[in-house]
Amino acid sequence: MDTTITPKMLEELLNVGIALSSTRDLRELLTLILREARRFTSADAGTLYLVKGGVLRAEVAQCQTFVERLGQEQADSLFSSFSLPVNMKSIAGAAAFTREVVNIPDVQNVDVSCLFQYSPDFDRKNNYSTHSNLAVPMLDREQNVIGVLQLINAKYKNRVVPFDARKTRLAQALASQAGVAIRNTLLTASLREAHLETLQRLGVAAEWRDKETANHIIRVAKFSALIAEALGWSEEMADMVEYASPMHDVGKLGIPDSILHKPGKLDPDERTIMEKHTVIGANILSNAKNEVMQWSRMVALGHHEKWDGSGYPQGISGSDIPPICQIVALADVYDALSCKRVYKPAFPHEKVMAIIHEENGRHFAPQMVKAFAGVIDRIVAVRDEYADKEEDFAKFRDYANIGIE
């Protein structure tokens, strides 16, 4: 039997490799890997597993027969994620355990000594007939098993046939590219998460001085991203808004305690100093090479500008205020009104909305108020999910009692 991979196949493999390495979203990537692996091997169905917490977790499944029978949507709804242990009791588990390809020509007809137990439950329930089965471990660059690519029922002229040596080689070639692409995507996601968390914690450092909680930072970031989304901004831009907003008050690090913590009203001179937190923040973040930091600087400088020009520090108005600042201004005030602070209770929802609508066209940009109102249910859900608890405020009441968390 000819098992060579032809130059045409190689070229196709290469193209898939390029597509894999340029896909940033994990789910999209896994779906693409499985689809391409099925195409290369003419497999009717397949499941892609990732190793998570020491077990194999089914992340994506596809089945052409179900799609033809039920339509794409219903076929997709049949899949619910499940886990398998990494051991010799299942075909996918064995591929992960041995780090070798497991190729079973017909699961209905295996040697009695075989350890795999084919369970006919799924087939019976869904009126499907599983025969040939190929499980390929996916390894990363360090040769750790990060998942398994399982392919079911290779087809040849409408008949189910075993996965031959060429198909096995193709699946292996694809799995090795897939392993590296998955690892890179997971790593990128983890770096992004670390990056966002660093920004949040820096923001918290500044807000801590003003007795704001860590949740305030998270809420404002998420409200802002929701508004950006409602405006029809791209996902990347909505992410950017979420990343850039935590630093809005970073300049408070430069405001003296005597002013920041003064009980009661500030006199005009003190107010002028307090308002400098915008400019101090912009200076802290100036000359940044990183794009997130450049947006953060813009937010720090402009989040107290008002639509009618009565804000600070520049007193700019209308569309002269960068849209991202218009968004964060609204999100920050909404949070201050709708959430409890050490010094004030949360206002009722109706009152908050009345104030925001009253300030529409004065403090806030009409376009932003409209977008905000359109996603108010999701905003309220975020507000509730990240609500402060009593202990979040306790640390501000008595600085002497601050313990290690």
Binding residues vs Fe ion (CB under 5 A): 249, 332
Looking at this protein, which amino acid is placed at residue 233? W
**Is position 252 annotated as part of the catalytic site?**
yes
Q: How far is the CB of 331 from Fe ion (least distance, A)?
A: 9
- Matching residue, tokens 């850039």: 244
Cβ partners under 8 Å of residue 214, min gap 6 = 200, 201, 204, 207, 392
Classify residue 127 by its DSSP letter. Answer: T
Chain residue at closest Cβ approach to Fe ion: 249
83 neighbors 54 (Cβ within 8 angstroms): no
Q: How far is the CB of 203 from Fe ion (least distance, A)?
A: 8
Going 10 to 15 to 21 to 26, the CA torsion angle's sign is negative
> Cβ closer to Fe ion: 106 or 270?
270
Q: What is the DSSP string of 29-76?
A: HHHHHHHHHHHHHTEEEEEEEEEETTEEEEEEEEEHHHHHHH-HHHHH
**Token digits of residue 138:** 């996916």
Q: How far is the CB of 304 from Fe ion (least distance, A)?
A: 6
Q: How far is the CB of 237 from Fe ion (least distance, A)?
A: 21
Q: How far is the CB of 190 from Fe ion (least distance, A)?
A: 27
> Cβ closer to Fe ion: 213 or 360?
213
> Cβ closer to Fe ion: 181 or 299?
299
> Cβ closer to Fe ion: 164 or 249?
249
> Cβ closer to Fe ion: 105 or 254?
254
Q: How far apart are CA 131 and CA 116, in angstroms?
A: 14
| Long-range contact set of residues 29-33: C-beta below 8 Å, sequence gap at least 24 | 29/181, 29/182, 29/185, 30/59, 30/60, 30/182, 31/60, 31/62, 33/149, 33/174, 33/178, 33/181, 33/182
Which of 167, 252, 276, 306 is the catalytic position? 252
Active site residues: 252
